[in-house]
Chain A
Amino acid sequence: MNDRAATYIEYAQAVPLAYAIDMDACVGCGLCENMCLAGAVAYDDKVRQTDVQVGSIILAPGTKPFDPAGLDHLGYGKFANVVTSDGFERILSAGGPYYGHIMRPLDRAEPKSIAWLQCIGSRDTNQCGNGYCSSVCCMYATKEAMIAKEHIHGDLDAVVFNMDMRTYGKDYEKYFMRARDKEGVRYVKARVHTIDENHETGDLSVRYVDEEGKVCVDEFSMVVLSVGLTIPEDATRLADRLGVELNKYKYAKIDPLAPVETNQPGIYVCGVFQGPKDIPESVTEASAAACLAGADLSAARGTDVETIVLPEQKEVAHQEPRIGVFVCNCGINIGGVVDVPAVQEYAGTLDNVVFTDSNLFTCSQDTQEKIKEMIIEQGLNRVVVASCSPKTHEGMFMETLEACGLNRYLFEMANIRNQNSWIHSKTPDTATEKAKDLVRAAVARARTLKAMEEKRIPVNQKALVVGGGVAGMTAALNLERQGFPVVLLEKTDSLGGLARRLHHTIEGADVQAFVAKLVADVSGAEKIEVLLGAEVVGFGGYQGNFTTEVAVGGDKRSIDHGAIVVATGAVEYEPTEYLFGDDERVITQLDLSDRIAEKGVADVDTVVMIQCVGSRNDEMQECSRICCQNAVKNALAIKEQSPDTQVFVLYRDIRTYGQMEDYYREAREKDVIFIRFKEEEPPIVEKSGDGLVVRVKDHILGQQVAIEADLVTLSAGLRAADTETLCRTMKLNTNLENYFMEAHVKLRPVDMPGAGIFLCGTAHGPKLITETLAQAQAAASRATTFLAKPEIKLSAITAKVDTDHCVKCLTCVRNCPFDVPVFDNNEKLIKIDEAMCHGCGVCACVCPRQTIQLGFYEDDQLISKVDGLLAEKTG
């Protein structure tokens, strides 16, 4: 992983894609400066100090992987085939040392078996002092194992040695299950003590004790150390200079009820510097920090703005098509399977294709510049990119076209990765032929493309927030602070939501006081109108110009607004398991926290908690995320009140991710006993005389345990609050578990697929109050970005009716999933409002007379594509 010259490019998709000098490796010969034809090397460039006047600061200094060199029992640095997980990412990368072919460092042989060792540099107060869980390693190890299995021909034995699998995020449990049950990644509950190298084969022997207590010595071709996250020293120095307080693990010290604020007013944090977290949550927090920083500056909004002026569009309507085809290698994703030069050569033989090229990464910044150059130099008036899915990159390529005066709709993609190289990786010859077919089809369609104009519409700057819990109130308050009027709807007769039933966060923050203050702030906010007992009964309009019908206590009100924040929350699952409802000593964690706060537990001898009730099972595959910390929180509260009360927590994996691991440790320290059970061997709760007995097998001794319990507490998971009606009315999407879906997990985590609609809180998926607050601020931030523009440009991909030939059969009216086509009684015509049209194309498909055309997907454009696909290969 160290084979890098002193001059290097950080990684293939880096922005800007430019060389840098690694001053640690540079010998100072000055050759690069002398050789550079562009004279771009400023060898003597020095760090310069610049003064910048700012109103607020956001700290996002990121993370550094833990260095395992000090852990001598693992052999890192001693045995070449022991690598860190970030090293393994380099091995997987097309831009890495082995060009994406999975090889082990010692002899460049393809590994037959790989072991991942979890919690290296995490959850360890002895050797590394990082008592926290790094939150991301279980998922990335699973991802790496799946990719490795996919890339390696033949059967790779991939084993993840772990203590607890912490796949707690939205849809993560499904991913974990897929890896385990479908892809055959093995998960072993064990930790490896010693790694030894077989000097002849270079294989590594690992010694561990399995769940049954048997000593095993297995051999692996490679070992990957799943290293945790740490805070780099320069970040702690930066914090020191700014007077920002850090905690004992060097993460920014934050109040759990003010997740992105530091002790210094006006200085905000996001990402791992705030606490260990993954990309979706980092992106969410980044928006939250931007929200608060922006609120401080809202008076100055719109000043100091630079507008991008696009060149005037070239008229191409009457020109013969001049098509440029750019074929992408996508590192080795495509190039490792498909013969890219052959596809490029073939593209050059197609009619109207006047230019072809191939690139390592067509999406990189330097390739965009190259495409622009070629459009101008070659006079291209249509561009085809043969690469990946338009879902992720079409917009970016369209911008490239616009930037040099070509209409954005003169663009077409052939997906030769997702639909070709990924699925035909075992048959490269036919994959190359298929790539040619897909390129030919794309070129055929490109010939028929037309320039289209995008309509501009004004934006109503009021926001509607649906749901008056912590998420909704926080979103509303932050929108108000940004200067926008808000209508806040709550279906019950009081604000507060599920948080009304919470007493403290695990850190000890007073939730009731916080909610009371939030309610007071919202009620007192000048620009927030709260409607209690309100329900959405009708919905219409389009981004920037919605109209929502609300029923409030017998009245109906119509609200015009530009954006929506959905924050309808979730509810505690009502168990049917473990005698719940049948015996009053079986209660939920929420009930228990009430009992602790109201009556106390000094009279209780033994409490047994059962985890994953209504989660991680056939009915609800996902993890409810909050329950493990909830159990630990309540267990600690019991021990605080009554140290002699015994608490047993029966669990499957303890998921006290991030810095909550400290509380799990504290619970054990205070003699809470944790017993792990397997999904297929759940505990049994039964009545025995006057009492309750819980039976479970101890995971270490393999022996049955019978616990006499005074209280059995079920860690009932969360369920999406009745989202079905709202889904229908407002045309929103949910996942399998009925939680609302975001537009993109990583890139747009609080946007919903529909423009102008944002999402936060447990309506998105189970989460803690701290996480809810950050997400609500993020939703407010994204809504602000949307509302701050006085007008927006609409997509030109909308349906148009040819009214001369329409027979008004109303098929479109009946079939549109968004109720957009209407029969205008005055003009006696079918009308499709282009601002409301989602461009899905259903009407165009069902119209029996084919009088509806969808822009960019007109019939002849699609037919040309099909004809192109089915045409015989020439050339």
Chain B
Amino acid sequence: MAETAIKLGGKRKPNLLDELREMLPQGNLNLCLTCGLCSSGCPSSSFDDMDPRKFLRMLSLGMDEEILASRWPWFCSMCQRCSRVCPMQIDIPQMIYKLRQKVPRSERPKGILHSCDAALANESLSAMGTSPEDFEWIVNDVLEETQTDQPEFKDLEAPLDKEGAHFLVNQNSREPMTEPDEMVPLWKILHQVGASWTYPKTAWAAENYCLFMADDEGWEHITRKAAEVTDKLGCKIFLNTE
């Protein structure tokens, strides 16, 4: 940040803060007590020498250009640890979400953008582009291997598209693609407690980069597809493992 003083004065003019607070359901951003509870709990505090309190303060002081130029909003993990404890109930994650939307879609961070686009391009909704056929093959392969190598789990199941299962379980694509054995512990737990469950063959990918991209349509598409497959298979509970 430059050493020059922040210049204030004159009649108050509408600014970015006004625009944002119009969009937020509750929590006037200027209610901030500058207590720092948000920043104390934020996993992204100190990245780029920034934290939620500083960010909000820049908005309060009308530093709109600096805010719009900052890449800090993309560090937010949307965990909501800040808004849960904020004594003034300021909805910081929602504010961040709205700020992300102010960036043209094509200019948003490439990693998130490509992951979102990739998910929207396949039936698995996988950000890594894993097809339903590949997923099915990997699951069955890992299952067989476990049944063989670990006789005590010879009855282990990893059903796909099993109609009428109680739980519909989804799966982050990273495991089947890079660490397939990491899927097994959850299977074992579900097996051990005798849960009735299934993976879907489509819309099985648990990650939702469109949410982090602040892409409302993409987010809705992914969520809707997951809900539809749950209904189609007649499952009672959608178990999001993300």
Chain A positions within 8 Å of B, measured between CB atoms, are: 71, 73, 119, 123-127, 163, 189-194, 207-209, 213-215, 605-606, 643-646, 648, 665, 668-669, 671, 673-674, 676, 695, 698-701, 703-709
> In the complex where A605-B11, A705-B61, A708-B10 touch, is A676 in contact with B45 (Cβ < 8 A)?
no
B87 contact set on A, CB distance < 8 A: 119, 123-127
A127 contact set on B, CB distance < 8 A: 84-85, 87
Contact (Cβ within 8 A) B40 A208: yes
Contact (Cβ within 8 A) B9 A193: no
Closest 8 CB pairs of A and B: A708-B9, A193-B41, A193-B40, A126-B89, A124-B87, A209-B39, A704-B5, A700-B57
Contact (Cβ within 8 A) B30 A700: no
Closest B residue, CB atoms, query A122: B87
B60 contact set on A, CB distance < 8 A: 673
Contact (Cβ within 8 A) B84 A668: no
Distance A124 CA – B6 CA, assembled complex (angstroms):
30
Closest A residue, CB atoms, query B2: A703
A669 contact set on B, CB distance < 8 A: 28, 30-31
Contact (Cβ within 8 A) B89 A125: yes
Contact (Cβ within 8 A) A646 B10: yes
Distance A698 CA – B46 CA, assembled complex (angstroms):
18
Distance A127 CA – B85 CA, assembled complex (angstroms):
7
| Chain A nearest Cβ from B47, distance in angstroms | 10
Contact (Cβ within 8 A) A701 B57: yes
B36 contact set on A, CB distance < 8 A: 189-191, 208-209
Which of B4, B40, B46 is A190 in contact with, Cβ under 8 Å? B40
Question: What are 28 pairs between A and B in contact, CB < 8 Å?
Answer: A124-B87, A126-B88, A127-B85, A163-B33, A190-B40, A207-B41, A208-B36, A208-B40, A209-B36, A209-B40, A213-B45, A213-B46, A215-B39, A215-B40, A605-B9, A646-B11, A646-B12, A671-B30, A673-B30, A700-B53, A700-B54, A701-B6, A701-B61, A703-B1, A704-B6, A705-B6, A706-B5, A708-B10
Chain B interface bracket (under 10, 10 to 19, 20 to 34, 35 or more): 35 or more
| Chain A nearest Cβ from B45, distance in angstroms | 5
Distance A191 CA – B88 CA, assembled complex (angstroms):
14
Closest A residue, CB atoms, query B50: A213
A191 contact set on B, CB distance < 8 A: 35-37, 40
B54 contact set on A, CB distance < 8 A: 213, 700-701
Distance A123 CA – B37 CA, assembled complex (angstroms):
13
Q: Does B160 contact A (CB under 8 A)?
A: no
B46 contact set on A, CB distance < 8 A: 209, 213-215
Contact (Cβ within 8 A) A648 B8: yes
Using a CB-CB cutoff of 8 Å, which residues 217-240 of chain B contact chain A? none
Q: Contact mask B42-55 → A, CB, 8 Å, 1/0?
A: 00011001010110
Given A213-B54, A646-B12, 17 further pairs, Cβ under 8 A: A119-B87, A126-B85, A127-B87, A190-B36, A190-B40, A191-B37, A193-B37, A209-B51, A606-B9, A646-B9, A648-B8, A669-B31, A673-B60, A698-B57, A701-B61, A705-B8, A708-B10
Using a CB-CB cutoff of 8 Å, which residues 26-84 of chain B contact chain A? 28, 30-41, 45-46, 49, 51, 53-54, 57-58, 60-61, 81, 84
A668 contact set on B, CB distance < 8 A: 28, 30-33
| Chain B nearest Cβ from A613, distance in angstroms | 21
Distance A698 CA – B57 CA, assembled complex (angstroms):
9
Q: Does B158 contact A (CB under 8 A)?
A: no
Contact (Cβ within 8 A) B31 A665: yes
Distance A577 CA – B54 CA, assembled complex (angstroms):
31
Contact (Cβ within 8 A) B12 A192: no
> In the complex where A126-B86, A668-B31 touch, is A209 in contact with B53 (Cβ < 8 A)?
yes
| Chain B nearest Cβ from A196, distance in angstroms | 12
B89 contact set on A, CB distance < 8 A: 125-126
B10 contact set on A, CB distance < 8 A: 605-606, 646, 708
Most buried by A among B31, B53, B85: B85
Q: Contact mask B84-120 → A, CB, 8 Å, 1/0?
A: 1111110000000000000000000000000000000
Most buried by B among A215, A643, A644, A703: A703
| Chain A nearest Cβ from B5, distance in angstroms | 4
A706 contact set on B, CB distance < 8 A: 5-8
Contact (Cβ within 8 A) A213 B6: no
| Chain A nearest Cβ from B8, distance in angstroms | 5
Distance A709 CA – B36 CA, assembled complex (angstroms):
28
Contact (Cβ within 8 A) A213 B9: no
Most buried by B among A191, A646, A648: A191
B30 contact set on A, CB distance < 8 A: 668-669, 671, 673
Contact (Cβ within 8 A) B34 A676: yes
A123 contact set on B, CB distance < 8 A: 33, 87
> In the complex where A191-B37, A215-B45, A669-B28 touch, is A125 in contact with B88 (Cβ < 8 A)?
yes
| Chain B nearest Cβ from A608, distance in angstroms | 9
B40 contact set on A, CB distance < 8 A: 190-194, 207-209, 215
Distance A606 CA – B62 CA, assembled complex (angstroms):
15
Closest B residue, CB atoms, query A194: B41
A700 contact set on B, CB distance < 8 A: 34, 53-54, 57
Distance A71 CA – B84 CA, assembled complex (angstroms):
10
A213 contact set on B, CB distance < 8 A: 39, 45-46, 49, 51, 53-54
Distance A123 CA – B34 CA, assembled complex (angstroms):
13
| Chain A nearest Cβ from B208, distance in angstroms | 26
Distance A657 CA – B33 CA, assembled complex (angstroms):
15
Distance A698 CA – B30 CA, assembled complex (angstroms):
15
| Chain B nearest Cβ from A249, distance in angstroms | 15
Contact (Cβ within 8 A) A707 B34: no
A673 contact set on B, CB distance < 8 A: 30, 60-61
Contact (Cβ within 8 A) B8 A708: yes
Distance A644 CA – B34 CA, assembled complex (angstroms):
23
| Chain B nearest Cβ from A568, distance in angstroms | 38
B41 contact set on A, CB distance < 8 A: 73, 193-194, 207
Contact (Cβ within 8 A) B9 A709: yes
Distance A207 CA – B34 CA, assembled complex (angstroms):
16
Distance A351 CA – B235 CA, assembled complex (angstroms):
94
Distance A705 CA – B57 CA, assembled complex (angstroms):
12
Distance A190 CA – B45 CA, assembled complex (angstroms):
14
Distance A207 CA – B85 CA, assembled complex (angstroms):
14
B58 contact set on A, CB distance < 8 A: 701
Closest A residue, CB atoms, query B38: A193
| Chain A nearest Cβ from B82, distance in angstroms | 8
B88 contact set on A, CB distance < 8 A: 125-126, 665
Contact (Cβ within 8 A) A701 B1: yes
